[in-house]
Amino acid sequence: MPSLPVVRIDAATPVGAGSDLVRSYLRDIGRVPLLSHEQEITLGRQVQELMALEEQEQELTLRAGGQAPSEEQLAEAAGLTVVQLRKRLKGGRRAKERMVAANLRLVVSVAK
């Protein structure tokens, strides 16, 4: 899935270039496919799993007095192997990015 462009406009950006950047962003976001119902459910579950792992990591950090747990500690607390933990974290982050991009596409298409 293509990553979304970051649009930054500052004092060095020529007048009129901002609208070109916005037009480019809208064109790029329009290429992101909308999700099917099944995709929403699957990606939503992956994001929920990511959030549960992140919450567990925060809880372990609090218990350790602010020190973040190692991958091994987090995997053990979640009942996973380190490889499974990495895979679920990566999949959850990817699912989150995909959902955000698809939702931005939906917002843009409704706004048009």
101 domain residue, yes or no: yes
Question: What residue numbers bound the domain in which 24 lies?
Answer: 17-111
- Rounded distance between C-alpha atoms, residue 27 and residue 16, angstroms: 17
79 domain residue, yes or no: yes
- Per-residue pLDDT averaged across 35-55, rounded? 97
Q: What backbone torsions phi and psi does residue 33 show, to the nearest 5 degrees?
A: -70, 145
Residue 56: exposure state from Cβ atoms within 10 A (0-12, 13-18, ≥19): middle
What's the confidence (pLDDT) of residue 56? Answer: 98
Give the predicted TM-score (pTM) of the model.
0.74
Does 10 fall in a domain? no
Q: What is the pLDDT of residues 78-111, one digit of tens each?
A: 999 999 999 999 999 999 999 999 999 988 888 8
| Rounded Cα gap, residues 111 and 91, in angstroms | 30
**70 assigned to some structural domain:** yes
Whether residue 36 is contained in a domain is answered as yes
